[in-house]
Structure 1
Amino acid sequence: MIRIVRPRLPTELETSLLALTQEMAGTPVPDRGDHAERMWGRNSVRRDVYQPVREALKDMAPGWDCCMYCGNHLADTVDHFVPKSRCALRTFYWPNLLLACSTCNTRFKGDEHRSDGLVGSLLIDPTRENPFDHLDLGLASGVYRPVVGSPKGEWTIEVCGLNTGRRPRVRADTWLNLADDLKDWDRARGEGDVRNMRRKVYRMRTQPFADVCYAALHKAVSDDAPSIFAEAEPGLLDLLRDDELRASFQV
């Protein structure tokens, strides 16, 4: 899970979402949950709202249409961060919509929701906060752990199944591939091959589980970097700290 910047929607789509929210607000409170489900399933809404929203989310997603929760690629469903069943008024609220894979959207997260005890959610919203404030990814293991003292980190790992099944193994393999790509990028730079440098950056940015790449870049400038990368290949930490490479990732 990585930080994601949420852009403003085109005016026409923004207006459509507002109109649907106003319709929901005019519905008696006891009926809002059922009405939200009916509205979400309308043919006109699926065509004129759902699909454009999904495309907008894909454009802002990390990697190649990566799930904004687990990081897996080719996510294709629109998830309600705060479920419709918990707050029907947020059904068509743009800041409440995230791109998710079907596994996260239905098998894991679903309608799960917990308040943080204040006015927010216990689940990390990657468009509102930096997930690295709550989550720590072991590069070699591919396992997520909560940052000490972060209930948000604990709940997000649990509710999104971040360490379930093959996910850690795939992240660990992604780290090995990333190390190779970094060396290839540096080799291309030494040869003055700008085109291949760009290709390597594109590959690293768009691969499945792109959170591995951004976690490595984040860890490389931390105070603990020397110990974190102590067993990594020689020169890898220097590459992750390289100003030219980091500028390519806008970090």
Structure 2
Amino acid sequence: MIRIRRVTLPPDLAGQLRVRTDKLHGDKADCSAARAAWKSAKATRTQLTRHLTGMAAGIRRCMYCGDGLGTDIDHFEPLAEAPLRAFDWPNHLLACSYCNSHQKRELFPRDEDGRPLLVDPFTEDPCAHLELVLSTGIYEALTPRGDITIKVFGLNRADLARGRASAFIRTVCMLRDRARLLQFSGTEEAGEVAASLLDQPFADVLYAMLRYRDLPGAEQVLRGRDVVDALADPALHFGP
């Protein structure tokens, strides 16, 4: 899971969401009514999906696991708990069907004061709560919220851990290839490698590597000084 930057919606779409939200409030909609309104708003959902897709890491990747294709708009705070937030833009994330329907579902743990315990990648950096062990692809919790987030989203599923570990090896090799291309062959093919690095699944691997770059022991964790130096390339960094 990586930090995602939310864009400002165009005025016409933002207006549609306000109108629909006002109607839910006026009707004092419950979960059933909110679901019906959401299901009937096909054109609005299509527009929202387009904007969420543009914000997702890689090529339309799930904002939770980073692997599956983002096919669903997930309500971070579920409609069962917050029906009036059905059309609330800050409550929308792009998820794969597995994370949305089999992992998170309607789960939304809260602490004793009612504050959400799941990490929202739009409002905070997941790295404050989760640490990715690159060699194994396993997430370790840094906080109690991180532990709950790992469990609810199933971030350490065997297929995901294996995929991240493989992505780490692949990323190391691609970084070395890009460095050699920049040194001996010009920038065109090197640019293709950079684009491929940013488009591949498991963007959290590159994201974690960029964070490790400035930490003690980076050369050992990242498998060499050449990899550490390659990560300094601005072309490989995520957006602001």
CA contact (8 A) 1:6 1:60 kept: yes
Deviation of the 1:198 alpha carbon? 1.1
Structure 2 gap segments, 5+ residues each: none
Distance in 2 (CA, whole Å) between partners of 1:217 and 1:207 is 16
1:164 aligned to which of 157, 160, 176:
157
Q: What code does the residue aligned with 2:157 have?
A: T
Report the counterpart of residue 31 of structure 2 in structure 1: 33
Secondary structure at the residue paired with 1:202?
A: helix
Query: In structure 2, how many angstroms separate the alpha carbons of the residues matched to 1:113 and 1:250?
Result: 28
Identity %: 34
The 3-state SS of whatever aligns with 1:136 is: strand
1:122 alignment partner in structure 2: 117
Corresponding residue number in structure 1 for 2:10:
10
**Cα RMSD after superposing both structures:** 1.6
Alpha carbons of structure 1 residues 163 and 250: separation in structure 2 relative to 1, 3 Å: closer
Any conservation in 1 of the 2:31–2:83 contact (CA below 8 Å)? yes
Q: Does 1:140 align with 2:135?
A: yes
Q: Match for residue 74 of structure 2? A: 79
Out of 95, 99, 114, the position equivalent to 2:94 is 99
Distance 1:161 1:85 in 2: 21
Q: Which residue of 2 aligns with 1:204?
A: 197
Residue 170 (structure 2) aligns with: 177
| Distance in 1 separating the partners of 2:113 and 2:9 | 28
Question: What is the aligned counterpart of 1:152 among 145, 154, 162?
Answer: 145
User: 1:230-251, CA deviations, whole angstroms, 9 ceiling, x for partnerless residues?
Assistant: xx245222322x2xx1354147
Partner of 2:234: 246
Aligned to 1:213: 206
C-alpha separation between the residues in 2 aligned to 1:118 and 1:204?
Answer: 42
**Residues 63-78 of structure 1: pairs in structure 2 closer than 5 A:** 63-78=58-73
Pair 1:246–1:165, CA change in 2 (3 A):
same
TM-score, scaled to structure 1 = 0.90
Q: How many corresponding residue pairs?
A: 239
Give the whole-Å Cα distance in 1 for the aligned partners of 2:236 and 2:172.
16
Q: What is the SS of the residue equivalent to 2:140? A: strand
Query: Unaligned 5+ residue runs, structure 1?
Result: none
1:164, distance to aligned residue in structure 2 (A): 1.1
Q: 1:51-90 deviations in whole A, cap 9, x for unaligned?
A: 1101100000111111111111421110000000010111
Give per-residue Cα distances to partners, 1:75-108, cap 9 Å, x unaligned: 1110000000010111100000000000000000
Q: Which amino acid aligns with 1:15?
A: G
SS at match of 1:158: helix
Which secondary structure state, in structure 2, belongs to the residue aligned with residue 166 of structure 1?
Answer: helix
Are the equivalent residues in 2 in contact too, given 1:62–1:210 (CA < 8 A)?
yes
**Structure 2 counterpart of 1:228, from 201, 221, 231:** 221
Amino acid at match of 2:172: A
The offset of 1:183, in angstroms, is 0.6
Question: Equivalents in 2 of 1:227, 1:178: separation in Å?
Answer: 15
Structure 2 Cα separation of the partners of residues 62 and 199 of structure 1: 17
Residues 73 and 207 in structure 1, CA contact (< 8 A), matched pair in contact too: no
Q: CA deviation at 1:225?
A: 2.5
Deviation string for 1:194-230 (max 9, x for gaps)?
A: 111211111110101111111111111124535534x
